[in-house]
Structure 1
Amino acid sequence: MTKPDISIVICTHKRPDMLKDALSSLIRQETDGEFTYEVLVVFSSCPIEQELIDELQQQTDAPLRAVMQTRPGQVAARNLGLDEAHGEWIANFDDDQIAEPYWLKELWKTAVEHQCECVGGALQLHFPDGCDRELTPKMQRMLGATVPWDTVRPYTDQQGPGSGNQMLHRRVFEKLGKYDESFTLRGYDTDMYRRIRMAGFKSWFNPRALGYHVTPSSRLEDQYFKETSLHNGWSFSRRDQLERGSLKTLLIAAARAAQSALLIWPGLLVSRISGGSSDNIDRPIQLWRNEGYIRCTLHALSPKMFPQRRFFDRYEFRPEVRMAKLAKASVVTEPVTTQA
């Protein structure tokens, strides 16, 4: 079989309902005869997922393949997808997203017209019925929404594509290597974009390459924002260590500590005393990010002095802990019935 132009790589772990919706949108992508594509699913030995993939293979002419994940962690799954993909281009997608039929076509068009090796699209949030929480722009970005640009334009140093809606040419990985698995959960795509910018590859954004990020009610709770913020702070620290070095990262951590103590905490206290909206948690988000940054900077500086095992395990910084927790949460129990 002739190799496809594009491999859509989607990684999943025991979310068959979400996976079905995502794959149903991917196997019906429009090509207008301009390119060919395949869909590659990296899954974690879940029989339901395998059955779903087998079922969908009978419903589409688009090549749909599956490969079982061999090592824990989302980033390891991404890298396995790179190894197994057949296309010259790798289009990353997430199992909790739904693509418009023209999504891939718009990514392809942008790559061809602008001769770039990296292209990304837009993601809008799809909320459950009855969602009434007011979300600030910062909270929306944490849930996966992309920057609100409405024109095709190049990315900047500060704004780049996320791994959920992104297409990269193989030349990128041949020159830069795979995703850095030391990021474990978040920040690996930001790190890759940092390397892409440093290497001089061109990157463009197309708002018409549109997908929808399914946002369950559990992600609208404060605890989700807290865990995500801590992970973001951790990834920011890892990125700065790689780009700026240990000393500058330590100075930044000290500045973040001062910011938390002198600016954010007093502002948060005044807001609560004055009866500010409890839905707006932008200040706590910044506090949690700073905490994650400081903790992980100290841990990198001296793991023996700052082991923080309980903190890392609690917030799933180790991929094996996250995989075990996800597996436990995915177990379905039979309802208990009583006889009259």
Structure 2
Amino acid sequence: MLIDICVCTFRRASLADTLRSLGHQVLPDGSDLRIIVADNDEVPSAQELVTRIAQDLPVPVQYVHAPSRNISIARNACLDAATGDLLAFIDDDEVAPPTWIADMHALLASGPYDAVFGPAIAEYPDTAPAWIRQGDYHSNVPTARNRIVQTGHTCNALIQIHAPCFHDQRFLLEKGRTGGEDTEFFFRAWRDGGKFAVSDTAKVFEPVDPSRLGFAWIAKRRFRSGITYGRLERGRLSLIKAAVSLCVTILKIAYCMVRTLIAVFSSNQRNFWLLRAVFHSGVLTSILSVKEQELYG
């Protein structure tokens, strides 16, 4: 059994730590590992780093140049390059413990699952504001709705790439700069019959960039998440239900703003409710079919 681990990268020195952590994986019995790095820069800026780190790793590393500045292009390049039975995704600013793949595989093999997801745990610098630490706004923990896992993220995923639900699936290029392309990809696979699960033990760890420790950055991310969530839901709604959803979303925004005003002197509670309002504003934007803002590239 061959497991391909795919890492999409764009001008990040942290890629070196990611690759070293992948080279120390304790693999399931009877399996081999290969690492695929898809460089999304216009020029092959990561090639030298990948070549240098690969010399010290016990597993083969394949470098793919996948320009430019559209993460969906890089993710699709990984799909094209992968030849294994299983395909894993991890981000280029994350570090995986040695048991990461083994824990993911154990859950995948325990049931009729087409993909499993795990948490990406944020590691905050000492300069992180207390309200961000308490709210843990940078960790990415997949969830289930009514005990059903409908989607996940490529920051921590293991896929049965030959499963019928992933047949001919591609990451949408139009979402490659707005974000949410991975959520949409997996939701589409779930709609095509995919069965997903969440591992509580297969964690990866992400040191948070200090530039992302402000309210504005988190708010942009929440707004985009609201758009993604709203568009996924809207695809399942009739016109009447969409109108009802519009009214409910406006009420949710109003409620969150009232709670924000009530908690104006508490940074933890005030920012929590204000970010909830931002999220629902993203949902409202999706219902009104406003064009998504490009956050990346």
What is the DSSP-based 3-state SS (H/G/I as helix, E as strand, rest coil) of the residue aligned with 2:148?
A: coil
Q: What 5-or-longer segments of structure 2 have no aligned partner? A: none
Contact 1:155 / 1:205 at 8 angstroms: preserved in 2? no
TM-score (norm. length: structure 2) = 0.87
Please name the residue that 2:287 is paired with. 297
The answer to whether the Cα contact below 8 Å between 2:38 and 2:64 also exists between their aligned partners in 1 is yes
Picking from 140, 144, 149, the partner of 1:145 is: 140
Map 1:125-140 onto structure 2 (within 5 A).
125-135=122-132, 139-140=135-136
Measured in 2, the distance between the counterparts of 1:155 and 1:96 equals 31
Contact 2:5–2:89 (8 Å) recurs in 1:
yes
Considering only CA atoms, is the larger Rg found in Structure 1 or Structure 2? Answer: 1
Larger displacement relative to structure 2 (174-183 or 103-112): 174-183
Give the secondary structure class of the aligned counterpart of 1:209: coil
Corresponding position of 2:294: 316
Dislocated runs of 4+, deviation >4 Å? 45-48
Aligned pairs for 1:183-332 within 5 A: 183-184=175-176, 185-245=178-238, 247-261=240-254, 263-272=255-264, 275-277=265-267, 280-299=270-289, 312=292, 315-316=293-294, 322-323=296-297
Give the share of equivalent positions with the same residue, in percent.
20
Which residue matches 1:162?
153
CA distance in 2, matches of 1:247, 1:207: 38
Written as runs of structure 1 = structure 2, the 5 A alignment for 1:49-88 is 49-88=46-85
Shift of 1:213: 1.7
Which secondary structure does the structure 2 equivalent of 1:296 belong to?
Answer: helix
Alpha-carbon separation, structure 2, partners of 1:33 and 1:280: 50
Output one character per residue of 1:280-325: Cα deviation in whole Å (capped at 9) or x when no partner.
Answer: 511111221222222233235xxxxxxx6xxx5xx425xxxx31xx
1:94-143 CA-partner distances (Å, limit 9, x unpaired): 01110001111111222223242211223221112343523477x42x41
Name the CA distance, whole Å, in 1 between partners of 2:28 and 2:140: 28
Q: In structure 1, how many angstroms separate the alpha carbons of the residues matched to 2:173 and 2:239?
A: 19
1:106 matched residue in structure 2? 103
Query: Is residue 5 of structure 1 aligned with residue 2 of structure 2?
Result: yes
Structure 1 contact 145–213 (Cα < 8 Å) conserved? no
TM score, norm. by length of structure 1: 0.77
Q: Distance in 1 between matches of 2:30 and 2:15?
A: 27
**Cα RMSD over matched residues?**
2.8
> Which AA in structure 2 matches 1:183?
K
SS of 1:286 mapped into structure 2: helix
1:99 match: secondary structure: coil
Q: Secondary structure of the residue that 2:48 maps to in structure 1?
A: helix
Unaligned runs of 5+ in 1: 301-307, 324-340
Q: Secondary structure at the match of 1:34?
A: coil
Deviation (angstroms), 1:37: 1.4
Q: Cα offset for 1:19?
A: 0.9
What is the CA-CA distance between 1:36 and the residue it aligns to? 0.7
